[in-house]
Each structure stands twice: as C-alpha cells, then as structure tokens.
A and B are shown apart, each in its own frame.
Chain A
Amino acid sequence: MTNSPKAIKNFPFPFKSDAYMYSVNIQPVTNEALFDVDEHYHGEIEERDRILQADKSGRYFAFPHMKDAQWDALEIIMNDLADYYPESFTLTQEGDRWTWLNKKLNLEDTFTFLDETTLPYEPFEYISRQVQEDIILLDQREGDLFLDAGILTFPASWSLDFDAGMRFEEFHGPVPRAHELGVFKKAKAFLMRVQIGKPWTRLNWTMTVNRRLDTSLETYADWGSDRNTVTLDNCGEKVHLRVEVQRFVRLPRSNGLMFPIHTYLISLEELVTNPDWTRRLYQVLKNLPPDLVEYKGLSLYHHTVITWLSQVVDEPELAEFHS
C-alpha cells in the first residue's frame, strides 16, 4: 500500500518552521469534514476489523456512563459523512427511525435512535468500525477530562487498555518537557471550553518503520525490532513520516469531548518528491532535542535518516543558511 500522487499532494505536512517544539498548536476547523474518507478506506477498515477480532478487549472499550456520549458520537459521525461524502453515505431520519446507508461497505441498517437494542453493536463501536480514525471519547467532570471510551487500532506507541479511565495529565504522563512548559494545563483549559458546533484541530507527528498503522504497545514485539533494520539503502522506502490529524469536538448531549485521530503515513521516498518538505524535515530532525528523539522512538535510526536526507536535499548548506 503506497500513496497516490494525489494523496502525497494532500499529505498534512506538519512543520511550519525548522525547529519543532511542543506547543498548544490548535486551530479551528471550518467548512471541512471532521472525518476523512480517503483512498485507504477499504484497506484500513479491513485492518481495523482484523485487529478487533484478534484483541477486542485491548482495543475497544466504553465505560457504562458513556452511553449518551456514544450516541452523540454516532450522530455527529453519520451527519459528517453524509454531508461531505453524499455519494457514499446517506442518513435518513424519520423521527427516531434512522436509516444508515454505507455504500462503500455495502451496508444498510435501520435503527431507533437512542435504542441500543436495534443496532448490531453498541452505537460507538457500530459507527467507529466504519471510519478510518481512531476515536477517544472523554468525559468532562471534576474540572478534568477522563479517557472513558475509545477505539484504538492504529496508535503511535500507546495502549488504550492501560490509559482507560485516566485524567488528561495522567495519560500524557510519559511526554517529556510539555508538562514543564505548561502545555497540558493550557491545552486542557482550552479543551474544556470547546463549544458545540465549533470543532478544533491539531497535528502530531512521529516516524514509523515500514508502512504499519498498528504500532500499539500491545503488538510491540511485532514491530519494535524493525527499528534495527534501517540502512542508508532502504531508508527512503522503509522510514515513514507519521502524522496524526486530531480533532476536538464537543459532544452536545453528554457534554463530553470527542477526539478522532486520523493517521497518515508517507514514506521518505514519497516525501522527497516535494523539495520544501525535504529541506524542512531535514532541519527539524537535525534540531530535534535528544529527549524528543528518545520519546518518539527514533534513537536507533535518527542519524541514518538525517544522513540520507542530507544526500537528497539539493543544497544542505544553503538550507541551513536560510534557517
């Protein structure tokens, strides 16, 4: 599975300057779908299904008090898909009788809104199996946000099962520097005030060896050692920039918060078709503080990638001069 030229062009390249540091990098979402249905839809839906079949309990959960939040999520996702991809998704509402048509998966279900017994899965699982995004639902109470439901088949090195029930600053526990910078306190204050109908977005990034979406802690044994295999020869093909487009959406009826994460992978080979990106990434990786290199799991191949990029960047010295 590689990216088409169109997917490469649309890749959410995350760097705005040559030095990367954590910040409360959030922006409004305007006139844009919350959920992205792209060329990898079928492959990723199948992969999600396979992962859930192998290990449902580690990858999906919803606490009992998240029932209203589940329906909120279903309602927002169905409306978003139907609004932005009418050729593939249709939602027909006759009072509480809703009919959902997903032409991509060849699936049609009629159910009663707010009546769980009329769907084949509970509402959050039902709908999240039909999108490419991992989704976390947070409960807002006691002046905090709690990770109280989620589906996570494509995580960047974390565990849903482990983080279940945690507070905002707790599940961010392992992140270096950001706590001291006050990033999480400020981000949380912001998120708790996100309003109905006014969603926000931010980008996060790391790198992954091989085109692999499921880099969960649960499967660490399967992919951790791939990081030893990077050489100057295979670097362009093996190493991928991994970018998460994250959204923050108020759930209207439950007053919870929805956090969808769409993960995009681009191989370095694909990335260097854009010279600006090449130069930027080269600079960012060179300037990346050692604790971030370590936290993002790049230690084993960081140098190889920089060397490889330096050979591709047309004029590395000039690029440096510009920074």
Chain B
Amino acid sequence: MNEQVVRVVEIEKLTPRIKRFRLVSVNGKLASFSPGSHLAVEIPLAKRQYNSYSLCSSPYQTNFYDLAVLLSENSRGGSEYLHQITTGTELKLGLPKNSFALNSLARKYILIAGGIGITPLISMLFVITRHQIPFELHYAAKSPTECAFYRFLQQYGDRVKFYFSERGNRLNPKQILQEQPLGTHVYLCVPQSLREDCRGAASALGYPKSAVHRELFGAVKTNKFKPFTAVLARSEQRIDVPQDKTLLEALEAAGIKANYSCRAGGCGACEVKVIEGEINHLDSYYSPAEKAEQNRILTCISRAKSKQLVIDL
C-alpha cells in the first residue's frame, strides 16, 4: 500500500452528497490504469483504514486522477474524512486494480449505473468513444440535482438515458436488453436489487453469463490474522507465528531452511505437508478440492484456523 502520494488540486461538488477530487502526483508519475479500475485510499484517522474508490478520469489522461466520493451515512468515517479535506491535502494511494475490465472484443457496450455506481463507467466512456464502439448508458438517480456527471454526460446525446425516480422514471432491464446485437457486453454498477433484475432479464433473453459483468469491489483487506503455533513434527520444535508474520517468515527467523519462489501464494514452491490442525488457505494456487483436503499448506501466505498446526518439517 501507499505506493503513490498525491495532492488534491481541485474539489468539485457534483451533487449535495458527492464530491469529485482531482489528484496530481507529488512523488513522480501516476500509475496508468485501465477503464473500470479502482484503487485504495489511505484514510489517516486514529484507526488507519483503506477505502476503495473507482477512478473516473480518462485512462489516457496521464497528469491527474479523478475520484468521486459519496458521503455515506453508515461509513467507518472514510468518506466523512474526504468530504472535509481541502485542496492542498496530501493523500496516499495504492496502485490501480481492475476487477471490472472491458471486454476488448465487444461489438456494443450497455452500461447501467445507479447513483454513485456511475464512477467506473465514466472511465469506460473515454475508452469506448476513442475506439468508436457503439454504446448505451442507462443511468438511474433520484433527480437531476442528485445525478453526478449530469452535465458532463450531455455531450453523448441520446446514447445516455437518465431515469429519475423523483419523476417516476424507472429503468426497465428487459426493455433495455432485448434486441441488442450479437457481441453485446453489459456492465452493471447498480444496487443489488436492480442488479438481480438485470441479470434475471439478461438470462431470460439468453445472454451468456460471460456477457454480463458486474463490479466486484475489491474488498480492501481488513483481515485480522490470528497468531498460531507451528509444531515441526520431526524436531518437535515449536515456532510461534505472530499475526503480522507469515509462517514462512517465522520459519526463516527460526533458522529453518524453507523453500520458496514467489512468496505470494501462486507457485507452490513453499508447500509443506500438514499432519494435524486446520488450515486457513489464502492462496490462489490450490483448487477448491485441494484446499478441502487440508493436508498441505503454502507457508508464504496461508495460516492456521486452529491454535496449532503440526507440519512435516
């Protein structure tokens, strides 16, 4: 984390509850990103935390990032903090990540947004229009004043349709999705109930699953790891693994020769047999079936669920 340091150079109130922040780099260059990306922002409150926000500037813009932040009522204080900062404030950011990428072979895009869900779709518009691929944007909000980017979106003419609940306009997924050409890809960034409606309509119309994309917001890890004890079966040595260290690091600290390659749970080099104890698999290497066997662990990332783990070392 904290891979980029930025300064807020502009703050615009897009709606009574949404502010847009323009950020420039303090320590060099901003990392480029793909449309649909989000990144983590460090919130320097008493209890440090990280909030994820979608980037809503153009991926072709190299000088600044835009983030739009909704003041949320039941937040842990992150959005409140951002809503009270002024220009000149410095922030620490992670690097961009994308779990909502555009399919590059689509022949048409249908983007559906509800409220603040518009943000990742804005970055997509810059790319879609540069490549001149047909699109429609359907955007549900309470009213024009509660509708972020309302003015900005006027430039796209009738390719953007607004649905204001205050005026009784409702977005009808079936109507939107029917009669779309082959190769259409749908991007959903809407509240859960509408998302289920959209997915239901798409599947009834025969859309394949791979054509319907939804934002999976990278849950910023708040995972609190528990300490545990590793017992080495051959030497009966006991090694304590504190919460902020991996099993691999603890083994190395104890002077035990341990194999590794990637140190990121992806290659399998650090695998060790587990004789007793319950494993908390955190890797991307094993299949679900292999994880269920509960008989080997990747020491560089995975931990114990039980208090102790007897391993074959």
Contacts and interface: CB of A to CB of B under 8 A. Distances in A.
Q: Do A and B originate from a single complex?
A: yes
Given A139-B104, A186-B285, 16 more contacts: A24-B266, A24-B269, A25-B269, A27-B267, A28-B262, A65-B104, A65-B105, A185-B287, A186-B267, A190-B262, A190-B285, A193-B284, A196-B31, A196-B97, A252-B31, A252-B32
A141 B262 contact: no
Nearest to B264: A28
Given A27-B262, A68-B127, A195 B97 contact: yes
Nearest to A96: B62
15 contacts: A24-B262, A24-B266, A28-B263, A65-B105, A140-B101, A142-B210, A186-B266, A186-B267, A190-B284, A196-B32, A196-B96, A252-B31, A252-B34, A253-B32, A253-B33
A200 interface: yes
A197 B95 contact: yes
A27 B264 CA distance: 9
A141 B95 CA distance: 21
Interface string A59-72: 00000011110001
B285 A24 contact: yes
A143 B210 CA distance: 9
Interface in B97-136: 97-98, 101-105, 127, 131
B104 A254 contact: yes
Chain A interface size band reads 20 to 34
Nearest to A182: B287
Given A25-B267, A65-B104, A200 B262 contact: yes
Interface string A153-192: 0000000000000000000000000000010011001100
Nearest to B39: A196
B32 A25 contact: no
Contact of B60 (A24, A25, A66, A253): A253
A25 B261 contact: yes
Nearest to B290: A182
A10 B98 CA distance: 37
Contacts of B268: 23-24, 186
**Do most interface residues of chain B lie in helix, strand or loop, or is the interface mixed?**
loop
Most chain-A CB neighbours within 10 Å: which of B34, B104, B285? B104
Interface in B52-88: 59-60
B197 interface: no
A253 B59 contact: yes
B236 interface: no
Contacts of A185: 287
B3 interface: yes
Contact of A190 (B31, B263, B267): B267
B284 A141 contact: no
Interface in A185-221: 185-186, 189-190, 193, 195-198, 200
B285 A254 contact: no
Interface in B1-59: 3, 31-34, 59
Q: Would you list the 6 A-B pairs with minimal beta carbon distance, nearest first?
A: A252-B32, A190-B266, A255-B34, A65-B104, A24-B267, A255-B101
A36 interface: no
A248 to B, nearest CB: 11
B113 to A, nearest CB: 20
A26 B59 CA distance: 30
A125 interface: no
A255 B283 CA distance: 22
A149 to B, nearest CB: 11
Given A253-B59, A253-B60, A23 B31 contact: no
Contact of B101 (A24, A141, A196): A141
A204 B43 CA distance: 43
A26 B261 contact: yes
Interface string A115-153: 000000000000000000000000111110000000000
Contacts of B98: 255
A23 B269 contact: yes
B269 to A, nearest CB: 7
Contacts of B261: 25-27
Nearest to B131: A67
A292 interface: no
B3 A26 contact: no
A253 B285 contact: no
A75 interface: yes
Interface string A19-36: 000011111100000000
Interface string B121-154: 0000001000100000000000000000000000
A277 B91 CA distance: 50
A312 interface: no
A253 B264 contact: no
Nearest to A183: B268
Given A140-B101, A253-B59, A75 B95 contact: no
Contacts of B3: 197
Contacts of A254: 34, 104
A186 B266 CA distance: 7
B288 to A, nearest CB: 12
Contacts of A23: 267-269
B231 to A, nearest CB: 27
Contacts of B34: 252-255
A114 interface: yes
Contacts of A200: 262
Nearest to A65: B104
A67 B60 CA distance: 13
A190 B266 CA distance: 6
Contacts of A25: 261, 267, 269
Contacts of A141: 101, 103-105
Contacts of A75: 32
